Amino acid sequence: MKSRLLAMSLLAVVMVFGGAQSAAAQDGLQLGASYDFFYREFEETSAAGAHFDVAKSLGSFSVLGEIGFNDYDGATVSSYQGGLRFPFGASTASARPFAQVTTGLWRCCDTNAFVLQPGAGVEFGSSAKVKYRVQFDYRWLRADGDNESAVRASAGVVFNLGN
């Protein structure tokens, strides 16, 4: 499992770097808020969740931090992650796809887990300061010696705070 996970992560990074854009086309700082309209893990589905992120452009990629919460009957899942986002195309485009990889901590009840989460999405809209985002993420969890996976689909708003 570890070798497959590592191979898929490396492949995603190589594919992303292959299409990375120039520094001139990047936004400076982004704040995002998204509603998780679908989040499934441990064979249960949550439709009540949200995640928030802040991203800072460093040329052809951005460094990001993300915090998220999803509610299940009797439990709340939280995650605290950091990672890299790789946008494609010009920041002035009406639709701008991206790929990202985050890692960090997943927590529910008394259980902590390591998480690795690749994802992709599209930011769109005609305003340079406010965009909309749709995003899909696949999450790998490692807790107490066991592996688990989860998927998340979300939609939200992104505020671009300058170059």
Q: Which of 7-11, 67-71, 82-86, 132-136 has the lowest mean pLDDT?
A: 7-11
Tell whether the model's pLDDT for residue 54 goes beyond 60: yes
The set of residues, in sequence order, having a beta carbon less than 8 Å from that of 159 and lying 6+ positions away, is 30, 31, 32, 129, 130
C-alpha–C-alpha distance, residues 161 and 114, integer Å: 31
Tell whether the model's pLDDT for residue 83 goes beyond 90: yes
Tell whether the model's pLDDT for residue 162 goes beyond 80: no
pLDDT > 90: percent of the chain? 60
Structure confidence at residue 72 (pLDDT): 86
Tell whether the model's pLDDT for residue 32 goes beyond 70: yes
- What domains can you pick out in the chain, each with its CATH number? 27-84+98-160 (2.40.160.20)
Tell whether the model's pLDDT for residue 26 goes beyond 90: no
Q: Which of 54-63, 91-100, 110-119, 141-150 has the lowest mean pLDDT?
A: 91-100
Structure confidence at residue 92 (pLDDT): 65
User: Can you give the pTM of this predicted structure?
Assistant: 0.78
C-alpha–C-alpha distance, residues 131 and 106, integer Å: 28
Closest Cα partner for 109 from 42, 38, 35?
42
C-alpha–C-alpha distance, residues 64 and 38, integer Å: 22
Structure confidence at residue 19 (pLDDT): 40
The set of residues, in sequence order, having a beta carbon less than 8 Å from that of 73 and lying 6+ positions away, is none
At 86-104, the pLDDT tens digits run: 998 776 678 999 999 999 9
Mean pLDDT to the nearest integer, 22-47: 78
Mean pLDDT to the nearest integer, 49-77: 93
Tell whether the model's pLDDT for residue 82 goes beyond 70: yes
- Other C-beta atoms closer than 10 Å to the C-beta of 2 total 8
